[in-house]
Amino acid sequence: MAAGHAAEVLIVSLGSTEGLRRADEELAGSLRRAGASVRVSRPPPPSRRPTLMLTDLVWARAARRAAVEALAGAQGGSSPAIIYSSITAALLWPKPGAIRFDALSAANRPGRHGLWQRPLERRRLGEATMLLPWSEGALREAPPATAAGSASLVVAVPVEPSGTSPPAGEDVRDLAAITYAANPLKKGLDRVLEAWRLMGREGLLGNGDELLIAGTTAAELSRAGIAVGAEDRARLLEPISSEEYRALVRRSRLFLTAPRREDYGISQLEALAEGCMLVSTPSPGPYAALPIARELDGRLISEDLAAALRTALEDPLPGYGALARDALAPYTRAEVDRVVAADLLPRLLA
């Protein structure tokens, strides 16, 4: 792209979770490397609300204010291409644009939780200039009339190993298992703990083996009605940095999870990138890591989480870590950059 004529792109980012913030920064980085001038407009987080309907409303209003302010401040009165990052960010938009999403309200806001969001979502999907799902699974959940042809492009969130891959035979795993339990009931932490406790009762855990629980707090567990005691051989990691978390995943043999619904599963993809065995239930939703994990070792994906965990502990697949890293080739930053430069940016500008 010629100097002085860089395409302008505005990303309206909710950033309501660390995963969403990282995904938006990754997309902005890819667009900049493709030659675009990118601005990320992110509202300050609103105060906590008691229901999902109210939570989505205050976030949607905050996203609208952020978009209006960003458009008013566009250089020289220019009109940037707009990407609304998440359905919620697009619900009250001031101007149509592309919508990037990991999942739709029609799927993850059932019943009363999405009474006002779902009909407005259908309208916004039809008005969007493009749909940019994180995965093919998310695209399949979109209504057929809005998900067809040139109006849609899957743009994954890149996932890379956080450290240098060890030489063959030197992949030291001195921690037993880890799980990520933000929104602990949705992530199925209660089911994970039940399976882990059973392994302890069956004598399948070694001396010092424990389950590390990241992504949540004691207060969240209390609200969810989940208790973690010393007898569970599980330890809650009070908030730690993403670097500390990834370092623990690199050292863990297993990533254990049983989500009741998985909208994407960035933590599971990160675990695979670190060479960690993924033990999971076959949860509904656009669960990006699920087909990869099934291909790697289908024995570790089961509705009977305890049976899958028992297999992982007693009969692990040799070379799983190296195979997992190879399977994540479509999720490398270089591959996402290629999709953004060759497909996304030209179509945004068109």
The tens digit of pLDDT for each residue in 267-285 reads 999 999 999 999 999 999 9
Q: For residue 152, list its beta bridge partners.
A: 131
Residues 81 and 117 in one domain: yes
**121 three-state secondary structure:** helix
Q: Which domain holds residue 17?
A: 8-158+332-349
* Residues contacting residue 62 through CB under 8 Å, at least 6 positions apart: 14, 43, 44, 45, 46
CATH number at 210 reads: 3.40.50.2000
Q: Are residues 183 and 115 in the same domain?
A: no
Which range has the worst mean pLDDT, 170-179, 242-251, 301-310?
Answer: 170-179
pTM of the model: 0.89
pLDDT digits (tens, 9 = 90+) for 94-146: 999 999 999 888 888 888 888 888 999 999 999 999 999 999 999 988 877 66
Number of domains comprising the chain:
2
Cα–Cα distance measured from residue 133 to residue 144, given in angstroms and rounded to the nearest whole number: 14
**23 and 148 belong to one structural domain:** yes
Tell me whether residue 170 is in a domain.
no
Three-state SS for 66? helix
What span, in angstroms and rounded, lies between the C-alpha atoms of 35 and 337?
11
137 in the same domain as 258: no
Instruction: Answer whether residue 169 is part of any domain.
Output: no
- Say whether both 101 and 79 belong to one domain: yes
Given a cut of 90, whether residue 148 has pLDDT beyond it is no
Percentage of the chain modeled with pLDDT above 70: 94
**Residue 167 belongs to some domain of the structure:** no
Query: How far apart are the C-alpha atoms of 127 and 95, rounded to whole Å?
Result: 10
Whether the pLDDT of residue 3 is over 70: the answer is no
